[in-house]
Amino acid sequence: MRYVILALLGMGLFIPNAHARPVSYPGGWTFMFMNDGDANSAHIHYSPTADMSVGYKFENWRDKEFTLNALQVNNLLKRWNKKHSQANLYLKSGIGIAHSDRDDFDSETSPAGFTGIATDWENRRFFVSYENRYTEAGKIDDFFKQSARVGWAPYEGDYGDLHTWMMLQVDHSPESDDNFTVTPLVRFFKDVHLLEAGMNNNGEVLFNYVLRY
Protein backbone atom coordinates (compact mmCIF):
# COMPACT_ATOMS: atom_id res chain seq x y z
CA MET A 1 0.00 0.00 0.00
CA ARG A 2 2.93 2.33 0.62
CA TYR A 3 3.66 2.33 -3.13
CA VAL A 4 0.18 3.63 -3.86
CA ILE A 5 0.69 6.52 -1.47
CA LEU A 6 4.11 7.32 -2.95
CA ALA A 7 2.73 7.21 -6.46
CA LEU A 8 -0.16 9.51 -5.62
CA LEU A 9 2.21 11.95 -3.99
CA GLY A 10 4.53 11.70 -6.95
CA MET A 11 1.97 12.56 -9.58
CA GLY A 12 3.53 15.95 -9.91
CA LEU A 13 6.69 14.27 -11.22
CA PHE A 14 4.81 12.33 -13.91
CA ILE A 15 2.14 13.47 -16.27
CA PRO A 16 -0.13 10.57 -15.45
CA ASN A 17 -2.86 6.93 -18.57
CA ALA A 18 -5.12 4.37 -19.42
CA HIS A 19 -4.64 2.31 -22.55
CA ALA A 20 -8.21 3.21 -23.55
CA ARG A 21 -10.78 5.46 -21.96
CA PRO A 22 -12.32 3.61 -18.99
CA VAL A 23 -15.60 5.59 -19.25
CA SER A 24 -17.56 5.94 -22.47
CA TYR A 25 -20.52 8.12 -23.45
CA PRO A 26 -23.88 7.49 -21.68
CA GLY A 27 -25.33 4.23 -22.96
CA GLY A 28 -22.03 3.15 -24.53
CA TRP A 29 -20.47 -0.31 -24.38
CA THR A 30 -16.72 -0.98 -24.53
CA PHE A 31 -14.91 -4.29 -25.12
CA MET A 32 -11.19 -4.37 -24.28
CA PHE A 33 -8.78 -7.26 -24.91
CA MET A 34 -5.30 -6.60 -23.51
CA ASN A 35 -2.14 -8.70 -23.73
CA ASP A 36 1.36 -7.78 -22.53
CA GLY A 37 4.40 -9.29 -20.86
CA ASP A 38 2.58 -9.79 -17.55
CA ALA A 39 -1.02 -10.71 -18.23
CA ASN A 40 -3.86 -11.41 -20.63
CA SER A 41 -7.12 -9.67 -19.83
CA ALA A 42 -10.62 -8.92 -21.05
CA HIS A 43 -12.78 -6.04 -19.83
CA ILE A 44 -16.38 -5.42 -20.88
CA HIS A 45 -18.10 -2.36 -19.45
CA TYR A 46 -21.21 -0.25 -19.82
CA SER A 47 -21.41 3.49 -19.08
CA PRO A 48 -24.78 4.51 -17.63
CA THR A 49 -23.52 8.10 -17.35
CA ALA A 50 -20.63 10.15 -18.71
CA ASP A 51 -18.90 9.88 -15.31
CA MET A 52 -19.04 6.13 -14.56
CA SER A 53 -18.79 2.69 -16.09
CA VAL A 54 -19.39 -0.75 -14.60
CA GLY A 55 -18.44 -4.12 -16.03
CA TYR A 56 -16.71 -7.49 -15.86
CA LYS A 57 -12.91 -7.91 -15.74
CA PHE A 58 -10.98 -11.13 -16.33
CA GLU A 59 -7.21 -11.35 -15.89
CA ASN A 60 -4.67 -14.16 -16.25
CA TRP A 61 -1.38 -13.23 -14.58
CA ARG A 62 0.97 -15.73 -16.18
CA ASP A 63 4.14 -15.44 -14.04
CA LYS A 64 2.13 -14.96 -10.87
CA GLU A 65 0.06 -18.01 -11.87
CA PHE A 66 -3.37 -16.79 -10.86
CA THR A 67 -6.56 -15.65 -12.54
CA LEU A 68 -8.93 -12.91 -11.42
CA ASN A 69 -12.64 -12.49 -12.11
CA ALA A 70 -13.95 -9.15 -10.90
CA LEU A 71 -16.66 -6.54 -11.04
CA GLN A 72 -14.92 -3.30 -12.04
CA VAL A 73 -16.23 0.24 -11.56
CA ASN A 74 -14.53 3.22 -13.23
CA ASN A 75 -15.20 6.80 -12.19
CA LEU A 76 -14.30 9.96 -14.08
CA LEU A 77 -13.19 12.25 -11.27
CA LYS A 78 -12.30 15.29 -13.35
CA ARG A 79 -12.14 16.37 -16.98
CA TRP A 80 -10.40 19.46 -18.29
CA ASN A 81 -11.67 20.53 -21.72
CA LYS A 82 -9.57 23.17 -23.45
CA LYS A 83 -9.90 24.59 -26.94
CA HIS A 84 -7.18 22.35 -28.41
CA SER A 85 -6.63 19.68 -25.72
CA GLN A 86 -8.27 17.51 -23.09
CA ALA A 87 -7.16 15.94 -19.80
CA ASN A 88 -8.86 13.33 -17.60
CA LEU A 89 -8.50 11.83 -14.14
CA TYR A 90 -10.07 8.45 -13.33
CA LEU A 91 -10.43 6.09 -10.38
CA LYS A 92 -10.51 2.40 -11.37
CA SER A 93 -11.49 -0.22 -8.78
CA GLY A 94 -12.62 -3.84 -8.75
CA ILE A 95 -13.64 -6.63 -6.40
CA GLY A 96 -13.89 -10.33 -7.14
CA ILE A 97 -12.30 -13.76 -6.79
CA ALA A 98 -8.71 -14.84 -7.46
CA HIS A 99 -7.78 -18.46 -8.18
CA SER A 100 -4.26 -19.89 -8.23
CA ASP A 101 -2.70 -23.13 -9.45
CA ARG A 102 0.73 -22.11 -8.20
CA ASP A 103 2.74 -24.77 -6.30
CA ASP A 104 2.15 -23.41 -2.79
CA PHE A 105 -1.41 -22.33 -3.57
CA ASP A 106 -2.66 -25.20 -5.75
CA SER A 107 -6.41 -24.73 -6.23
CA GLU A 108 -6.37 -21.80 -3.78
CA THR A 109 -9.28 -19.34 -4.08
CA SER A 110 -9.38 -15.99 -2.35
CA PRO A 111 -11.40 -12.76 -2.34
CA ALA A 112 -9.49 -10.10 -4.26
CA GLY A 113 -9.65 -6.42 -5.07
CA PHE A 114 -7.72 -3.65 -6.74
CA THR A 115 -7.74 0.13 -7.03
CA GLY A 116 -5.73 2.79 -8.78
CA ILE A 117 -5.77 6.07 -10.65
CA ALA A 118 -5.39 6.77 -14.36
CA THR A 119 -4.86 10.13 -15.98
CA ASP A 120 -4.05 11.42 -19.46
CA TRP A 121 -3.58 14.59 -21.48
CA GLU A 122 -3.66 14.90 -25.26
CA ASN A 123 -4.08 17.19 -28.20
CA ARG A 124 -4.08 16.29 -31.89
CA ARG A 125 -0.32 15.64 -32.01
CA PHE A 126 0.90 14.74 -28.50
CA PHE A 127 -0.20 12.39 -25.73
CA VAL A 128 1.02 11.68 -22.17
CA SER A 129 -0.47 9.41 -19.54
CA TYR A 130 0.11 7.63 -16.26
CA GLU A 131 -1.71 4.95 -14.27
CA ASN A 132 -1.14 2.85 -11.19
CA ARG A 133 -2.83 -0.03 -9.43
CA TYR A 134 -2.55 -1.91 -6.15
CA THR A 135 -3.91 -5.49 -6.16
CA GLU A 136 -4.69 -7.55 -3.06
CA ALA A 137 -5.53 -11.26 -3.43
CA GLY A 138 -5.21 -12.64 0.10
CA LYS A 139 -2.55 -15.34 0.49
CA ILE A 140 -2.18 -15.68 -3.28
CA ASP A 141 -0.47 -12.36 -4.02
CA ASP A 142 -0.43 -8.62 -3.52
CA PHE A 143 1.46 -6.18 -5.70
CA PHE A 144 1.71 -2.66 -7.07
CA LYS A 145 2.28 -1.69 -10.68
CA GLN A 146 2.48 1.63 -12.51
CA SER A 147 3.04 2.70 -16.10
CA ALA A 148 3.49 5.87 -18.11
CA ARG A 149 3.24 6.67 -21.81
CA VAL A 150 4.24 9.38 -24.23
CA GLY A 151 2.89 9.50 -27.76
CA TRP A 152 3.23 11.44 -31.01
CA ALA A 153 0.96 11.51 -34.05
CA PRO A 154 2.93 11.84 -37.31
CA TYR A 155 -0.09 13.47 -38.99
CA GLU A 156 -3.39 15.06 -38.01
CA GLY A 157 -6.30 13.03 -39.33
CA ASP A 158 -9.82 14.29 -39.82
CA TYR A 159 -12.92 12.73 -38.33
CA GLY A 160 -13.39 9.23 -39.77
CA ASP A 161 -9.77 8.91 -40.94
CA LEU A 162 -7.34 6.24 -39.79
CA HIS A 163 -5.38 7.82 -36.93
CA THR A 164 -1.84 6.68 -36.10
CA TRP A 165 0.19 7.22 -32.93
CA MET A 166 3.79 6.27 -32.16
CA MET A 167 4.13 5.60 -28.43
CA LEU A 168 6.63 4.62 -25.77
CA GLN A 169 5.43 2.90 -22.59
CA VAL A 170 7.42 2.40 -19.39
CA ASP A 171 6.18 -0.11 -16.78
CA HIS A 172 7.38 -0.26 -13.19
CA SER A 173 6.69 -3.25 -10.91
CA PRO A 174 8.70 -2.64 -7.71
CA GLU A 175 8.43 -6.21 -6.42
CA SER A 176 9.41 -7.96 -9.66
CA ASP A 177 12.94 -9.14 -10.48
CA ASP A 178 12.79 -7.18 -13.73
CA ASN A 179 11.00 -4.17 -12.32
CA PHE A 180 11.33 -1.81 -15.32
CA THR A 181 10.30 -2.59 -18.89
CA VAL A 182 10.17 -0.32 -21.92
CA THR A 183 7.76 -0.94 -24.81
CA PRO A 184 7.76 0.97 -28.11
CA LEU A 185 4.35 0.54 -29.74
CA VAL A 186 2.10 1.83 -32.46
CA ARG A 187 -1.58 2.69 -32.01
CA PHE A 188 -4.17 2.79 -34.80
CA PHE A 189 -7.77 3.83 -34.40
CA LYS A 190 -10.62 4.42 -36.78
CA ASP A 191 -14.31 4.83 -35.98
CA VAL A 192 -15.07 2.42 -33.08
CA HIS A 193 -11.87 0.34 -33.37
CA LEU A 194 -8.53 0.80 -31.60
CA LEU A 195 -5.51 -1.48 -32.07
CA GLU A 196 -2.10 -1.36 -30.36
CA ALA A 197 0.96 -3.53 -31.02
CA GLY A 198 4.53 -3.45 -29.73
CA MET A 199 7.36 -5.40 -28.11
CA ASN A 200 9.20 -4.62 -24.89
CA ASN A 201 12.93 -4.77 -24.14
CA ASN A 202 12.53 -8.42 -23.02
CA GLY A 203 11.05 -9.49 -26.34
CA GLU A 204 7.52 -9.81 -24.93
CA VAL A 205 4.64 -8.82 -27.19
CA LEU A 206 2.00 -6.20 -26.41
CA PHE A 207 -1.24 -6.52 -28.36
CA ASN A 208 -4.43 -4.65 -27.42
CA TYR A 209 -7.78 -4.32 -29.17
CA VAL A 210 -10.68 -2.10 -28.11
CA LEU A 211 -14.17 -1.95 -29.59
CA ARG A 212 -16.46 0.85 -28.45
CA TYR A 213 -20.04 1.45 -29.49
Residue percentage of the chain with pLDDT more than 90: 82
Residue-range domain boundaries for the chain: 2-212
CA distances to 28, 33, 196 from 181, rounded to whole Å, are 33, 21, 17
Q: pLDDT, tens digit, for every residue of 49-78?
A: 999 999 999 999 999 999 999 999 999 999
Q: What letter represents residue 127's amino acid?
A: F
3-state secondary structure of 95: strand
Pair 183, 169: CB distance under 8 Å: yes
Q: Which amino acid is at 43?
A: H
**Distance between CA 128 and CA 119 in Å, rounded?**
9
In this model, does residue 5 exceed pLDDT 90?
Answer: no
Neighbour-count burial for 49-71, b at 16+ CB within 10 Å, e otherwise: eeebbebebbbebeebbbbbebe
Give the confidence band of 19 by pLDDT, cuts at 50, 70, 90.
very low
pLDDT (average), residues 117-146: 97
Mean pLDDT (the chain, rounded): 90
Question: How much is the average pLDDT of 114-140?
Answer: 97
| Overall pTM surpassing 0.95 (yes/no) | no
pLDDT band at 212 (very low <50, low <70, confident <90, very high): very high
- Contact at 8 Å (CB) between 17 and 119? yes
CATH 3.40.50.300 fits 2-212, yes or no: no
